[in-house]
Amino acid sequence: MMKQLYEWIDKRTKLSKYWEPIARHPVPSHVSDGVRTNPVYCLGGIAFLCFIILVITGMFLAMYYKPTPDEAYESVRYIMEEVPMGAFIRSVHSWAANMMIAAVMLHMIRVYFTGAYKPPRELNWVIGVVLFLITTAFGFTGYLLPWDQLAYWATTIGIQITSGIPVVGPYVGKLLMGGGEIGPNTLSRFYAVHTIILPLTLALLLGIHFLLVRIHGISGRYL
């Protein structure tokens, strides 16, 4: 039954032509020798898994969250106290976010010390650094959304620091706040950036990141 379904789909999409070379592609023995797997080569994958968990939990949070100063705090309180599993979903979102940033940092350290940024992989390192910056931008924009004391004042500090960059700083600060102070405009644009702009950008760059890994192969001792 499954086999027939697979053949039916394959006849119409030629899927096997694309996925079978990927499936048969051998993983180098310094990553996994069949008995032990080197855990430092899992960090990028862990970060990706965190991203998937964040997208799923984020979708559920977006169903209840309201990005206005009058309603934001109340909607998060509602998620935490009255929505079934709401507190768990939000806590998973928060923990997966922290875990993702830690995994991305450790992944970067692994790539640095194994020299995996060297030719022909320079471009993928640059994309990786941009992915790291996007991940921290996710953290920065997400932090404001609960609109509690910590959210408000941590964002105030963040925007003050960013505004201190010479020449462009004041403009970036104004752009972030959507005006002269943290208010309704700031909250709604942080929400738009956090849930639309950053996820799309990250997904696109991740696609290129993975494609380049596929083209170059996993770096390591056989080079």
Per CB under 8 A, which of residues 74..103 are in contact with another protein?
Answer: 76-77, 80, 87-88, 90-96, 98-99, 101
CA-nearest of 55, 60, 54 to 86 is: 60
Stretch that binds another protein, among 6-14, 129-137, 192-200, 203-211 (CB under 8 A): 129-137
Closest CB 124 distance from another protein, rounded Å: 9
User: What's the CA gap between 207 and 205, in Å, rounded?
Assistant: 5
Which one of 121, 189, 194, 209 is in contact with another protein (CB under 8 A)?
121
> Tokens representing 105?
């940092």
Q: Is 180 in the site for another protein (CB under 8 A)?
A: no
Contacts of 189 (CB under 8 A, 6+ apart): 176, 178
User: How far is 208 from 127, CA to CA, in rounded Å?
Assistant: 8
59 alpha carbon, distance to own chain's centre? 14
**Applying CB under 8 A, what is the total number of residues that bind another protein?**
83
- Residue 55 as a binder of another protein (CB under 8 A): the answer is no
Which is nearest to 110 in space by CA: 31, 37, 40, 28?
Answer: 40
Which of 1, 2, 63, 157 binds another protein (CB under 8 A)? It is 157
Choices 4-12, 31-39, 196-204, 205-213 (CB under 8 A): range interacting with another protein: 31-39
Nearer to another protein, 114 or 185 (CB): 114
Stretch that binds another protein, among 2-10, 154-162, 196-204, 205-213 (CB under 8 A): 154-162
CB distance 201 to 134 below 8 Å: yes
Residue 46 touching another protein (CB under 8 A)? yes
Query: In degrees rounded to 5, what are phi and psi of residue 32?
Result: -150, 125
**Residue 8 or 88 with smaller CB distance to another protein:** 88
